A and B are shown apart, each in its own frame.
Chain A
Amino acid sequence: MRRAFVPPDNTPPAVRFEAVTRRFGDHVAVDALSLDIHEGEFFALLGPSGCGKTTLLRMLAGFETPDAGRIFLGGDDIGAVPPHRRPVNMMFQSYALFPHLTVAGNVAFGLKQERRPKAEIAERVAAMLKLVRLEGMERRKPHQLSGGQRQRVALARALAKHPRVLLLDEPLAALDKKLREETQFELMELQARLGTTFVIVTHDQEEAMTVAHRIGVMANGRLVQVGPPPEIYEEPRSRWVAAFVGDVNLIEGTVVAIDDGRIEIADAAGRRFVGFAQPGTIPAPGTRVAFAVRPEKFSVTTSAAALEPDALEPGTREPGTLEPGTLEPGTRAQSASEKRSRAVNRFTGHVADIGYLGDVSVYKVRLSDGTVFKAAVTNATRRAAPPIAWDDPVTLSFPPDAAVVLTE
């Protein structure tokens, strides 16, 4: 995650989309979308394939023309400017390196169009290749490079002209997981160093959350939520966003009691759940809402341990240091607030499935009526004792403030 980004005052946004629409036949790829991207910001457009995020990026580059609406770059309407005159550069998903040119030739291509002096071009190319750590590769052709190296050439080429905005279309999709993660950190570091506005299109939520200051989640040509990564993850505004970004348990129910911000709902099986709604968004009694609870917010205890109340008592930690997700039955520390709410949001069930990911284990717990909850537990110790196995009876619980109350 990034340090908090403070947009500069009194400057027009680097990019402004104003009610931009783009249709392909009957299909509306981008639907009256408005968005401001700040100068110096790393902005991620996140969405499933076909949501219109790439079309939006291509309109910014000039490869697509909006059917309606306007696009501003640093305050200027760029609607009539052809792609080759726009001060933005794009890094393509396929990299689109010129196969007949060398690495240096590719990086120099944009500079040559500006008819800059030869010495200056050579200097800039060398600087760019140093920036992406490809010194000594100048004379190679693209087909002599590895995937990761080609990705760097594409990045160097797109940055060589010092664009106002750098557009990245799924730039890391072709790299394997390890290299992709490394490159994400390099991109962040590079962006922080250059201060250039970056707009990245990705369908990979982890990538978006890692690199971006702000994320715009797109669905069906519209922005459904825009905000910094923690906000998108911890305060999703709709069931769709909650389910698209990360894993989530959606508990559907009807509001049965309201006590200040404290909401109590009952699901179809009559189970009661308690959560807190944001002030100002408190639903009326009788409203159908969903509680969104992330798997790691659950704590899982083997039922045997949970039945011994004494074992749960010792309060050795300070109040407020909740550590849901760690599995230490029997020795588990309880905060004051959790103790108070222990009676609520607590269910027993059986382990139906276990996904062991190494760092975490995901348990699918089936309740008596067939409802399945997903709970993620950090494997903080090398061996959990007692271990949780298939068909074990377990108790699930989550603190009321872990639930996001969703009406949309």
Chain B
Amino acid sequence: MNRRFSRFNLVSVALGLAFLYLPIVVLVIYSFNDSRLVAVWGGWSLRWYVALVDDRAMQEAALNSLGIALASASLATVLGTLAALALTRLGRFRGRLPFAAMLYAPLVMPEVITGLALLLLFVAVGLERGFLTITIAHTTLTLCFVAVVVQSRLVDFDRTLEEAAADLGCPPVKTFLTVTLPGIAPAIAAGFLLAVSLSLDDLVIASFTTGPGATTLPIRIYSEVRLGVKPEINAVCTIFIAVIAVIVIAASLATRRSTTNDAGTPAA
């Protein structure tokens, strides 16, 4: 392969990056705009970040989002890991294929449909909409992502390690906890972080299942924007982007560690 950047390569890379990141760069730059008008540049300033300190509603929405993200991601990680274990470890049990298909269906299901279905369910069972319903809804959404991530790790996991543990006198449950779990922990962590960022992100399902007092950050931002874009929103979004970026980088580092720190691979 030609390792030098040809002119063609440079142009395509520049175009790709521009499409992906130009809008975000503009947003970030304008969050430091001194002007009250969104589209007019008035010099550098941190005033909109300062203004956020007094915006109680926005802070409350951020805290709601964070709480829902952590709760739903924790629940989804436990359930998703169990589902992945069932799919990889129970062999060819009856209904394995339908189970796998049903587990992955939400990955491609339009969020509007998932949101609507959940809303109908909550109304039917008479569940008060709010923090709890969004958490349940987000668990539904993120569970399958966790399952996919953990399953791919489990498939690669060297089962002779478990046999070795058993051979050395370790009973099955303890083997799972002391040998299997440390082996797949990076994937579980990555799945958890993925679930957190998906939950923080979600607007559609949250707006179907939300209730009074449980406004999430995306809902809050969206409703503010409908009344006209205030420069303050740019600042919120910039912070939001930073948080998500940190999570995504952490997740990818976790998966990378899990692949390089493998058993038995390269000799020193």
| A99 and B164 alpha carbons, distance in the complex (Å) | 12
Contacts of B163 in A (CB 8 A): 61, 63, 83, 90, 92, 96
A16 is an interface residue with CB less than 8 A from chain B: no
B109 is an interface residue with CB less than 8 A from chain A: no
Within the complex, what minimum Cβ distance (angstroms) separates A111 from chain B?
Answer: 9
| A143 and B263 alpha carbons, distance in the complex (Å) | 7
Contacts of B167 in A (CB 8 A): 61-62, 83-84, 86, 88-90, 158
Per-position binary interface string of chain A over residues 83-112, scored 1 when its CB falls under 8 Å from any chain B CB and 0 otherwise:
111101110101111111000000001100
B164–A96 CB distance below 8 A: yes
Interface hits, B157-184 → A, CB 8 Å: 158, 160-161, 163-172, 174-175, 179, 182-183
A113–B169 CB distance below 8 A: yes
Interface hits, B50-90 → A, CB 8 Å: none
Contacts of B158 in A (CB 8 A): 94, 96
A110–B268 CB distance below 8 A: no
| Closest A residue, CB atoms, query B179 | A98
| Closest A residue, CB atoms, query B175 | A84
B165–A109 CB distance below 8 A: yes
A94–B264 CB distance below 8 A: yes
| A95 and B267 alpha carbons, distance in the complex (Å) | 13
B9 is an interface residue with CB less than 8 A from chain A: no
| Closest A residue, CB atoms, query B260 | A143
Interface hits, B176-222 → A, CB 8 Å: 179, 182-183
B265 is an interface residue with CB less than 8 A from chain A: yes
Within the complex, what minimum Cβ distance (angstroms) separates A96 from chain B?
Answer: 4
Per-position binary interface string of chain A over residues 104-147, scored 1 when its CB falls under 8 Å from any chain B CB and 0 otherwise:
00000110011000000000000000000000000000111111
Per-position binary interface string of chain B over residues 228-268, scored 1 when its CB falls under 8 Å from any chain A CB and 0 otherwise:
00000000000000000000000000000000011111111
| A161 and B183 alpha carbons, distance in the complex (Å) | 24
A213 is an interface residue with CB less than 8 A from chain B: no
B183–A84 CB distance below 8 A: no
A97–B179 CB distance below 8 A: no
Contacts of B161 in A (CB 8 A): 96, 98-99
Within the complex, what minimum Cβ distance (angstroms) separates B186 from chain A?
Answer: 11
Contacts of B165 in A (CB 8 A): 84, 98, 109
A157 is an interface residue with CB less than 8 A from chain B: yes
| A89 and B170 alpha carbons, distance in the complex (Å) | 12
Given contacts A92-B160, A92-B163, contact A97 B170 (CB under 8 A): no
Within the complex, what minimum Cβ distance (angstroms) separates B266 from chain A?
Answer: 7
A150–B168 CB distance below 8 A: no
| Closest B residue, CB atoms, query A84 | B166
Residue among B165, B172, B262 with max Cβ neighbours from chain A (10 Å):
B165
Per-position binary interface string of chain A over residues 157-186, scored 1 when its CB falls under 8 Å from any chain B CB and 0 otherwise:
110010000000000000000000000000
Size category of the A interface is 20 to 34
| A82 and B172 alpha carbons, distance in the complex (Å) | 10
Partner of B261, one of A85, A99, A147: A99
Residue among B168, B169, B266 with max Cβ neighbours from chain A (10 Å):
B168
Interface hits, A251-298 → B, CB 8 Å: none
Given contacts A84-B166, A84-B167, A113-B169, contact A97 B268 (CB under 8 A): no
| A84 and B175 alpha carbons, distance in the complex (Å) | 10
Contacts of A84 in B (CB 8 A): 165-172, 175
A143–B182 CB distance below 8 A: no
Residue among B167, B174, B179, B263 with max Cβ neighbours from chain A (10 Å):
B167
B164–A92 CB distance below 8 A: yes
| Closest A residue, CB atoms, query B159 | A96
B160–A113 CB distance below 8 A: no
| Closest B residue, CB atoms, query A108 | B168
B168–A110 CB distance below 8 A: yes
| A98 and B161 alpha carbons, distance in the complex (Å) | 7
| A161 and B170 alpha carbons, distance in the complex (Å) | 13
Within the complex, what minimum Cβ distance (angstroms) separates A328 from chain B?
Answer: 46
Contacts of B267 in A (CB 8 A): 145-147
Within the complex, what minimum Cβ distance (angstroms) separates B264 from chain A?
Answer: 6
| A157 and B160 alpha carbons, distance in the complex (Å) | 15
| Closest B residue, CB atoms, query A154 | B164
A interface residues with partner B (beta carbon < 8 Å): 61-63, 82-86, 88-90, 92, 94-100, 109-110, 113-114, 142-147, 150, 157-158, 161
Beyond contacts A94-B264, A161-B169: 7 other A-B pairs, Cβ-Cβ < 8 A, are A84-B168, A95-B264, A96-B158, A96-B264, A98-B165, A109-B165, A142-B264
5 of the cross-chain contacts (CB-CB < 8 Å) are: A62-B167, A88-B167, A90-B164, A95-B264, A143-B262
B interface residues with partner A (beta carbon < 8 Å): 158, 160-161, 163-172, 174-175, 179, 182-183, 261-268
Q: List the 3 closest pairs (A to B, CB-CB), nearest first.
A: A110-B168, A113-B169, A96-B164
